[in-house]
Structure 1
Amino acid sequence: MARRVVALPLLLCFIGVLGILLLCLPVRDLREPPAFKYGVVLDAGSSHTALFIYKWPADKENDTGIVSQHDMCDVEGGGISSYADNPPAAGNSLKQCLNHAVSSIPKERHPLTPLYLGATAGMRLLNLTNPQASDKVLSAVTATLKSFPFDFRGAKILSGEDEGVFGWVTANYLLENFIKYGWIGQWFRPKKPTLGAMDLGGASTQITFETQEPIESPQNEVTLRLYGQPYKVYTHSFLCYGRDQVLRRMLSRVMKAGGYKSSMLNPCWPKGYQRNVLLGDVYDSPCTADEKPESYDSQRAIAMTGSGDAAGCRLIVDSLFKFNICSFSRCSFDGVFQPKLSGNFIAFSAFFYTVDFIHTVMKRRVASPDDLSAAAEDICNATWDELLQKAPQQKTRLADYCAVANFVYLLTTKGYRFDENSFSNIAFQKKAGDTSIGWALGYMLNLTNMIPADEAGFLKGTNYGSWIALVLLFVTVILMALVSGFCLLRSSKEHGTM
């Protein structure tokens, strides 16, 4: 009986010591989840504008892996550059999505929510040809954005290099290649390389990837320091090589080859498809302005009929590139330096939509250059009725997939030089998790300083060493309790025997 009396206080003593140690541990972040902060970015592309709303826990601004896409809204109508003749309409076009943001973000957070607009290649082209109109469009857009209850931080035209680098930051941030939150309650750098990023917009296309090779053209080199880690990145933006501008340039080549006759065949359109094309719709762009015919009339229409000639279409699209000029040790095309490809890549925007069409509509896989080439040929050989039967909901874009698929094939293989081995390193994706891949998130992260240059905020919760000590103590107490219980049980049996 005496052993039982001694063991019980001993067990209670250990439990008491354990409780005191638990109270003394430096525990953080154990309170109720904080409210969210929000950020709004308008991606003003050449063909349309999209509004993205991001959110993150209010007390974790300098951590990572925590920003997520809360909501988005597609602005109706064309890109803001299409309102060059009516700048106020550019601002008005944004109001519906801005009102959506007002209702989507809690009212008390409105004044604290940063609001940005970044314009890309469409506005870059407008700024080249008509800077006064470009300024008026940005002024009208700014006036609209300032009228909403957010913290407006500016509207600007991004350079092609900015667009490429911010897309690269977004992709690698979302895939946790810079830093990751581990199960032990600490941030750490995963031991894996970054991904290259390829973006295909309406007026330009970008390629960005980390490299250890010398970059022979200084304008293509960007040095970043993220979470204390340096990154040397190659990036280039090809203006006039976006999807919509490529289609204009293709039509210009078809018209020139046909002698600008009143009717002609288009090898990149499917058999059975016919449409009247205004010269103004083709040549009202800096990307085609130099190819105008001598007797140019913007209102003149040409009756164009598809001939579904896969080989003829590829020749026309191939003629858009210049592969025979290079003043560096190696080039992609048009005399632009590009180091040797390295690592895996993620391809988004129109890259994704084109390959997704091949997968879902044409029922073909794209695992190699030969697969992509064969799929492009398959699309070109299909008649208009066959394509319409396969994807009636895409009627407005169906006629263009032959040219675009050939362009994606030539760009990735002859342009960027992906071969049988490296092509399999490309992942064609629209999102990472629930967040769209593009430059918008990287742009916001940069402007809100949410990716610090130095290490910050790597610890979360209690200190890791404290947890180890606590676990060891807990195991010791359990073992002592079991020993005490065993002694008590043995003592009871001995007393019962006596």
Structure 2
Amino acid sequence: MVPNVRSSLPVTGTKPRTSWPRKALLILGFLFALAAIALVAMAVSQNKPLPKNIKYGIVLDAGSSHTNLYVYEWPAEKENDTGVVHQVEVCKVEGLGISGYSQDTEKAGLSLQHCMKRAQEVVPEQQHRETPVYLGATAGMRLLSLQNRSMADRVLSAVEKTLRSSPFNFQGARVISGQEEGAYGWITINYLLGNFKQAFSAFYFVMNFLNLTTEKSPVPLDKATSAVESFCSRPWHEVKAEFPKIKEKYLSEYCFSGTYILSLLENGYGFTMEKWQNIQFLGKIGSSDAGWTLGYMLNLTNMIPAEKPPTRPLSHASYVGLMVFCSLVLVAVLLLSWLTFHKPKCLQKGLI
């Protein structure tokens, strides 16, 4: 009987090594995690909303009967070196216009404090120091300057004292001419309407008092004429009784102003019955007041340096390229992992 040689021989084969698949798993896992983190980080960083870099400006319209404070904003990078300006707040100052405090000039400045505090609430605190403040005085102060220049200067000094004490960047208070008021108003109207084919006048307030303003359609000429004639023919005591809150000084001027406006438009500018349909008296266009202050702010933004717009961390080409690269790394890692633990038969023959 032939002995079973194979069974008596010692087993010399070694146990298959398993350490290298584990090392491969660690390496592949590390690469996978690294690529996944890079992919997510780039996507989040690149698609994060860009910060809004907004500038603010404040203009006070010191008229004859009252003062209005306007807060405007525009993107810091600007467009064609001019800010794309929007009105964000208007605050009506209580009391008289600053020219009405000529006998007690300190009150002219004190009257502005409430609206200046309101402006501090609207403009972010971190931008107070860089936000410019301008005050433009119109009809009332123009008249006071002609009557008593030193008194007008004292009123402006009191106003400047209050504005300088605010946290904003005070740029000056001055009396603007009628020509400037008209020019800035013209800029406002055409800017808000998106063209430069419109005219500006301060007729709105008189026509609004006479109920001749509407945003839907122009008021016919015959209706405007009838309204002015009807108001002018009323006894003075009836007019005062109907409008007790309006000062007699201003109330007495509406008849003359209405007649003057109609005469100027008809006889001076040649607005006939047909052409009259092209006239509208508007106090607001959209959400902005149709006054001179917006035009003034637009003009002043030319002197405020523009800033570079915020940019994303990567250019579009770089972002797309890196995203594709990281995605390919993830696919390659997954493929290598599958090949390592699920070898095809063609790769296993060499190991038998």
Same fold (TM over 0.5): yes
Q: Percent identity?
A: 45
- Aligned position for 1:196: 199
Letter in 2 for 1:448: T
Higher relative contact order at CA 8 Å, sep ≥6: structure 1 or structure 2?
2
Contact 1:352 1:429 in 2 (8 A): no
How many Å separate the matches in 2 of 1:383 and 1:29? 70
- Residue aligned with 2:171, SS: strand
Give 5+ residue unaligned stretches, structure 2.
1-45, 317-352
Q: Secondary structure at the match of 1:195?
A: coil
Match of 1:422 in 2: 275
Once residues 418 and 396 of structure 1 are traced to their aligned partners in structure 2, the CA distance between those partners, rounded to angstroms, is 34
1:367 aligns with 2:219: yes
Structure 1 residues 386 and 141, CA gap change in structure 2 (3 angstroms): closer
Q: Is the partner of 1:370 in helix, strand or coil?
A: helix
Who is 1:176 aligned against?
A: 194
Residue 123 of structure 2 corresponds to: 105
**Do residues 353 (structure 1) and 202 (structure 2) align?**
no
Unaligned runs of 5+ in 1: 1-27, 178-192, 201-347, 467-498
Whole-angstrom CA distance in 1 between matches of 2:102 and 2:291: 25
What displacement does 1:107 show?
0.6
After TM superposition, give the deviation of residue 359 of structure 1 in Å.
5.9
1:376-421 deviations in Å (ceiling 9; x for gaps): 23445678999899xx7x5534965555543432342234442223
Query: Partners in 1 of 2:52 and 2:163 — Cα distance?
Result: 28
In terms of fraction of residues, the more helix-rich structure is 2
Larger relative strand fraction: 1
Structure 2 counterpart of 1:125: 143
TM superposition shift of 1:426? 1.3
What is the distance in 2 between the residues matched to 1:93 and 1:385? Answer: 32
Map of 1:92-491 to 2, 5 A cutoff?
A: 92-177=110-195, 193-200=196-203, 348=204, 350-354=205-209, 357-358=211-212, 367-380=219-232, 395-397=244-246, 404-449=257-302
- Whether the 8 Å CA contact 2:60–2:136 is kept in 1: the answer is yes
TM-score where L is the length of structure 2: 0.64
- Change beyond 3 A, Cα 1:30–1:377: farther
Q: Secondary structure at the match of 1:197?
A: coil
Larger radius of gyration: 2
- The 1:30–1:122 alpha-carbon spacing in structure 2 relative to 1, beyond 3 Å, is farther
The question of 1:70 aligning with 2:73 is answered no
The count of corresponding residues between Structure 1 and Structure 2 is: 260
Opposite residue 48 of structure 1, the aligned amino acid is H
CA RMSD of aligned residues (A): 3.6
Query: Distance between the aligned counterparts of 1:31 and 1:351, measured in 2?
Result: 47
User: Are residues 94 and 412 of structure 1, via their aligned partners in 2, closer, same or farther at CA, if it must alter by over 3 Å?
Assistant: same
Quote the Cα distance in structure 1 between the aligned partners of 2:233 and 2:207. 22
Assess if the C-alpha contact under 8 Å between 2:188 and 2:292 holds in 1.
Answer: yes
Matched letter for residue 198 of structure 1: S
